[in-house]
Amino acid sequence: MSATRIRVSGDSPYDVVVGEGVLGDLPGLVGEGARTVAVIHPATLPEITRPVCESLAEAGYDVVELPVPDGEQAKSVEVAAGLWSALGRYGVTRSDAVVGVGGGATTDLAGFVAATWLRGVRTVLVPTTLLGMVDAAVGGKNGIDTPEGKNLVGTIVAPAGVLCDLRTLATLPKADYVAGLAEVIKGGFIADPTILRLVEADPEGATRPDGEHTRELIERKIRIKADVVGADLREAGLREILNYGHTLAHAIERHEHYEMRHGEAVAIGMTYAAELSRLSGRADLVERTRAVLTSVGLPVGYRADAWPRLREHMRLDKKNRGAKQRFVVLDELARPARLEDPSEALLEAAYKEIAR
């Protein structure tokens, strides 16, 4: 099957290329003016990174490999500073490029480092996980974590392109693949109910990279994000809907010291958001939310005793404005809305519904 190109519009439009064997597009995205290409990748992914580097070397670029820790451990000021130093040592100039290869944490980091080195160098992202393909690598958000929270330091700069080689998904542990499904399912609730119907029709197939509907699910979710960020790159309004379930999810991740998979936290966060929607008199999609998430093996509850600490973490959220907290909820299926400054009683009542 040929590659699919999904356009992300805006001031700096680019394509997300989805298919098998799409690395041939990489040299063209790097650009003719580049001499050196820095490839940022997890140290644990040498087999996946090798063909990326070979493709660039064959095209005549000087390739510099910059391995980083795996997962959220890479998204620190210390790791970013080390990469800046490396870019300086290797003489990476404004006409050169950075390529980020790996999961969502790595592409977040690579995009941030590229956007801040020399006030911005060209970036191409090669996500290798389901989460990276359908969410993290698309949209131009780049960031690192601080002790106070996730992604609180970052940039919004569009990449030159995103290459999603579906063959890399076969290398993922099943738990990581399933965790990525949370972001796909989120797309079904906020914008495209066909996603939900495809998962509900074959939950077991949805958990496999070779499932009957895998490619369609991935492309549908990428199109949702492309449409949203093309209309609202800097999260002035519409883009906030992509944070459905993320306010509690980010609090849980921080509470877990980032040892819980992002998608697992998002699944719990979506269940909480569904309860908030129901208890505030909006859509009642709690039963369907729980059913579709549990059908693929995702969690829908969290520890009862964690609420006081989670509530503290939730106060530092990017959607908040001043002292007012804002949550994304659903007026009905595929009709997201904002719940502004909800009462403490409502927030706690919703949490009690998912506590275990």
In tens, the pLDDT along 141-152 reads 999 998 888 888
Task: Tell whether 178 and 286 lie within a shared domain.
Answer: yes
Q: Is 72 labeled as ligand-binding?
A: yes
- Please identify which of the residues 186, 220, 255, 262 carries the catalytic annotation: 262
The count of structural domains within the chain is: 2
Sequence length of the chain is: 356
Q: Which of 122, 183, 220, 318 is catalytic?
A: 183
| CATH value at residue 90 | 3.40.50.1970
pTM: 0.94
Tell me: do 88 and 132 sit in the same domain.
Answer: yes
Domain region containing 53 = 4-171
Lowest-pLDDT range of 8-12, 204-208, 263-267, 334-338:
8-12
Same domain? 164 vs 220: no
Residues 311 and 201 in one domain: yes
**Which stretches of the chain are DSSP H helices?**
26-30, 46-58, 77-89, 104-116, 130-131, 174-190, 193-201, 203-206, 214-231, 246-255, 262-279, 286-295, 307-314, 344-354
Catalytic residue status for 141: yes
- Domain final residue pick, 171, 205, 226: 171
Please tell me the predicted confidence (pLDDT) of residue 323.
63
Residues 16 and 163 in one domain: yes
Q: Among this protein's residues, is 225 annotated catalytic? A: yes
Residue where a domain stops, chosen among 149, 171, 193 = 171
Give pLDDT tens digits for 164-222: 999 999 999 999 999 999 999 999 999 999 999 999 999 999 999 999 999 999 999 99
User: Is 313 an active-site residue?
Assistant: no
Q: How far is CA 27 from CA 46, 96, 124, 129, 231, in A?
A: 20, 12, 10, 21, 28
Per-residue pLDDT at 248 exceeds 90: yes
Whether the predicted pLDDT of 319 surpasses 90: no
Domain check: are 291 and 237 in the same one? yes
Q: Is 183 annotated as a binding residue?
A: yes
Q: Which CATH number do you get for residue 290?
A: 1.20.1090.10
Between 64-78, 147-161, 272-286, 293-307, the lowest mean confidence (pLDDT) is in 147-161
- Give catalytic status of residue 239 as yes or no: yes
3-state helix, strand, coil in the chain (%, to 5): 50, 20, 30
Both 234 and 261 in one domain: the answer is yes
Does the annotation place 106 within a ligand binding site?
yes
Regarding whether 182 and 167 lie in a shared domain, the answer is no
Q: Are residues 178 and 164 in the same domain?
A: no
Q: What is residue 231's three-state secondary structure?
A: helix
Same domain, 20 and 149: yes
User: Is 150 marked within a binding site?
Assistant: yes
Average pLDDT, the chain: 95
Q: Is residue 184 located within the same domain as residue 36? A: no
